[in-house]
Amino acid sequence: MREYVYDVFARKSRGDQLAHIGYVDALDDETARVYAWKTYDEENWFEMCVVRRSDIIPVNRDDGPFSRGREEGR
Amino acid sequence: MSDLTLLDVGKLDDATRSALRRLILTLADSKRLMGIRYSDWLLGSPSIETGIAASSMAQDEWGHARLLYAMLKDLGEDPVVVEHERPAKAYASVDPLDAPFPDWAAVVAGMTVVDVALAVALDACAHGCFEPATTRVPKMCAEEEFHRSLAFAWYRRLAASRSDEARGLLRAATEAMLPATLAWLGADDAAARALVDAGVTQSGAELSASFRDAVGDVLRTGSVDVDAMAPATAWDAARARGPGHPDEEAVERARGDRNRMLFVE
């Protein structure tokens, strides 16, 4: 069963910067939502979102984890 | 529902009071057992993330159970006695939770069938006239949305599996759980009707329709037609379920028997 890496971003308050707080391996977007919410529940987040790592477009480097995710398609 | 005037519990007749107690108990006991069944999968589920989700859902269910048991206070009953001193045969949890889920396919079926049925029943209570339910249940329903998302995603995934065994296990577990779940949700006995008349919840037919709407599409991916499934007929009216009961080991865990003597109040 193929899984994908989803990066998790969140902010504690409305005015905070959205911060990268971790990642989850998930089957699809729906399981990624649940895994992220259940895994990173140590804070009372104002907002949390996930994005499949392979959908992130690198801007200035091609050797970072996000670039590798894109190359590997996961 | 009759109207949205809040229920005056002190003025309930005996039959309606007893029916309300039965509803609270069946929801609370089911939540307590559901939490235990999820907790069995903190280890051994398909991934670390799934195990964390199972852990979190177990906590959700136990929290829901605690809040539901506390509603018995409104009926003049001590929730501590109810939680810690009843034998397994007095439990009113829904039948599919009587035994541990034997495999991950059964967990997914349980999430999809039983947990969603409980959420449908809770949602109806949240919109009824029993005040403790109107104030405490909406947060439970919000948490249940995540359970449903996980359930449906996993159900679709297993239903689309190339493995005949995985699809077979999922279908068998689903078809085993549906009859008793439909019987519980669709109950139309005197107690169920008393609660509808009092405005506490919806009729069995309405609850069943909501449930079939909620799970019909996803179950169809697993070749299960919920509209073709008939409710179980064996019925214990005192507990709103079939004649069995949860296994003793689960109830000992629910009551905290082994370490209760260490509990210092």
Q: What is the CATH number of the domain that holds A50?
A: 3.10.20.520
Contacts of A31 in chain B (CB under 8 A): 49, 149-150, 153-154
Helix, strand, or coil here: A39?
helix
- Triad B250, B93, B78: Cα angle to 5°: 90
Distance between CA atoms of residues B7 and B20, nearest Å: 11
Phi, psi of B42 (to 5 degrees): -65, -35
Interface membership of B104 toward A (CB under 8 Å): no
Beta-carbon contacts of residue B208 (< 8 Å; ≥ 6 apart): B182, B185, B186
Q: What is the number of domains present in chain A?
A: 1
Arithmetic mean of pLDDT, B7-21: 90
How far A60 CA lies from chain B's nearest CA (Å)?
31
Contacts of B47 in chain A (CB under 8 A): 3, 25
How far B200 CA lies from chain A's nearest CA (Å)?
31
Entry pTM: 0.90
Distance between CA atoms of residues A12 and B156, nearest Å: 33
Chain B residue closest to A42 (CA)? B56
The answer to whether A38 contacts B56, with C-beta atoms less than 8 Å apart, is yes
ipTM, two decimals, is 0.77
Arithmetic mean of pLDDT, B149-167: 96
The answer to whether A35 contacts B49, with C-beta atoms less than 8 Å apart, is yes
Nearest to A2, CA basis, from B45, B157, B41, B166:
B157
Res B2: pLDDT: 46
For residue A39, give its domain range. 4-72
What is the Cβ-side half-sphere exposure of residue B201, based on CA atoms within 13 angstroms? 34
Res B200: pLDDT: 95
- Triad B69, B73, B76: Cα angle to 5°: 130
Region label for A29, one of left (φ > 0), alpha (ψ between -120 and 50) or beta (otherwise): alpha
* pLDDT tens track for B62-102: 999 999 999 999 998 999 889 888 999 999 999 999 999 99
Res B4: pLDDT: 59
Between B256 and B48, residue with greater pLDDT: B48
Distance between CA atoms of residues B210 and B141, nearest Å: 14
Res B95: pLDDT: 98
Distance between CA atoms of residues B53 and B51, nearest Å: 5
The answer to whether B157 contacts A26, with C-beta atoms less than 8 Å apart, is no
How far B40 CA lies from chain A's nearest CA (Å)?
17
Percent of chain B past pLDDT 90, that is, above it, reads: 87
Quick one: three-class SS letters along chain B? CCCCCCCCHHHCCHHHHHHHHHHHHHHHHHHHHHHHHHHCCCCCCCCHHHHHHHHHHHHHHHHHHHHHHHHHHHHCCCHHHHHHCCCHHHCCCCHHHCCCCCCHHHHHHHHHHHHHHHHHHHHHHHCCCCHHHHHHHHHHHHHHHHHHHHHHHHHHHHHCCCCHHHHHHHHHHHHHHHHHHHHHHCCCCHHHHHHHHHCCCCCHHHHHHHHHHHHHHHHHHCCCCHHHCCCCCCCECCCCECCCCCCHHHHHHHHCHHHHHHCCC
**Cα distances (angstroms) measured from residue B65 to each of A9, A21, A41, A45, B19:** 32, 31, 21, 25, 18
Residue B11 — very low, low, confident or very high, per pLDDT cuts 50/70/90?
confident
User: Between A and B, how many residue pairs show a Cβ–Cβ distance under 8 A?
Assistant: 46
Could you give the domains of chain B? Answer: 88-262 (1.20.1260.10)
Bridge partners for A49 per DSSP: A9
Interface membership of A28 toward B (CB under 8 Å): yes
Judge whether B83 and B257 are in contact, CB under 8 Å.
no
Interface membership of B53 toward A (CB under 8 Å): yes
Interface membership of B49 toward A (CB under 8 Å): yes
Interface membership of B153 toward A (CB under 8 Å): yes
Interface membership of A41 toward B (CB under 8 Å): yes
